[in-house]
Amino acid sequence: MVRLNQINIGPNIALGRRGCLLEDGKRPYTNDYYDGTPFEPYFKSLDLFKWHDIRDFIKTNFPDIVSVCRKIHLELHESFNDKDGKIIKILKESKIVSEDFKLISNIESFGNLFECLVGYALYDNQIQLYRESKIKYPFPHKPYDPDGQRYDILAALDLTKLMWIECKKPLYLSNDNPLGNVISKDNIEKFIRRAYFLKPDIAIYLVDTKDDYKEKLKALLKSEFLTTGNYVELFDDSNSIVARLNGFIYFSRVCAKSNKLFYSALKDSINQVLYDATRINGNNQIFQIIK
């Protein structure tokens, strides 16, 4: 008898149909899912029940966690409020902040925490995924991604349809043009190049920002790019989607009206892409909508 947990219903099958092999990746229900985040050592020391409590705390308080860590990093102690106290307690317990009020974790690791949340937005709705996936391609001369990178979030929308989300994380703890660091010529070109190499059904460049970066993106996609058979459609300011390129490559953002609604807004930003992909494919059964 074959048990349910022995049946692979993740992105492996969709990758296999492309001739690819998933060599490595992290699943949302394993302790290594938080590798590379500030909570990595803490999660590996927890039992299952406490693990779920902290996970839910992060999902509910992610923007506030980043805000508190930024205040500590920049020594803005006078700006703490009453709500920050509970977060500081968890951060000290997790060994992210020291007892003498210093930030212990690597600054860049907070971006990896955003990746984890994106994965949970899918996994909460039974969409199977891997984080930090390493893929082997069926090309003897080029078996791995041309840029030598892993894929942030790789999800299976069904047995054949694959979605890749590149989670772009502004330098949360910096004052120096955080958005400019992710909406750059190198980052955009690399994303497009990798999307055409992988050829998922949907590729999303998801930026954790409320800002509409349409004009920045438009400036990067210069006229010579648009005259080589590529088609870019820009969306209005009320949409989480900023632009769609060639029917399957999306540029999006998280438009949270408040920190409390961040996780809901994250799901909504992915949903808008799924709705749009369904619409342009003319079949409301093509892509699963998350709740």
Domain boundaries, the chain: 39-93, 115-281
Q: Which residues of the chain are under the pLDDT cut of 70?
A: 1-9, 48-49, 107, 171-178, 223-229, 282-291
Q: Name 197's Cβ contacts closer than 8 Å, sequence gap at least 6.
A: 137, 145, 146
pLDDT (0 to 100) of residue 163? 95
pLDDT (0 to 100) of residue 2? 34
The per-residue pLDDT for range 36-48, each reduced to its tens digit, is 898 888 888 877 6
* Cα 4 off chain centre by: 28
First to last CA, the chain: 33
pLDDT (0 to 100) of residue 284? 53
Residue 253, SS3 per DSSP = strand
Residues 30, 255, 60: CA angle, nearest 5 degrees: 40
Q: HSE on the CB side for 108, CA within 13 Å?
A: 4
Residue 1, SS3 per DSSP = coil
pLDDT (0 to 100) of residue 4? 36
Does the model's pTM come out above 0.75? Answer: yes
Side chain identity, residue 97: V
